[in-house]
Amino acid sequence: MITIKASNDKMEYNKIWQALFEFNKEKDSSLTNDSYCVNDATNFYAYDGDELIGGIMCDILFNWLYIDILYVDEKMRGQDIGSMLMKEAEKFVKDKNLTGMYLLTADFQARPFYEKCGFEVCGCIEDMPPGSKMWILKKNSYIIRKLLSEGNPEIKKEIFEEKSLKNDEHERSNH
Give the number of domains in the chain.
1
Instruction: Read off the CATH number of the domain in which 113 is found.
Output: 3.40.630.30
For the chain, the average pLDDT equals 81
Residue 24 lies in a domain: no
pLDDT above 60 for 155: no
Burial class of residue 42, CB neighbours in 10 A (0-12, 13-18, 19+): middle
> Could you tell me if residue 104 is inside a domain?
yes
Provide Rg for the chain, Cα atoms: 18
Asked if residue 45 belongs to a domain, the reply is yes
Does pLDDT of 173 surpass 60?
no
Tell whether 116 is covered by a domain.
Answer: yes
Which pLDDT band holds residue 167 (cuts at 50, 70, 90)?
very low
**What is the C-alpha separation between 66 and 64, in angstroms, rounded?**
6
Q: Does a structural domain hold residue 68? A: yes
**pLDDT band at residue 56, thresholds of 50, 70 and 90?**
very high
Q: Which domain holds residue 139?
A: 33-173
8-16 average pLDDT score? 80
Mean pLDDT of 148-163: 51
Instruction: Please determine, for residue 130, whether its predicted confidence score (pLDDT) is greater than 90.
Output: yes
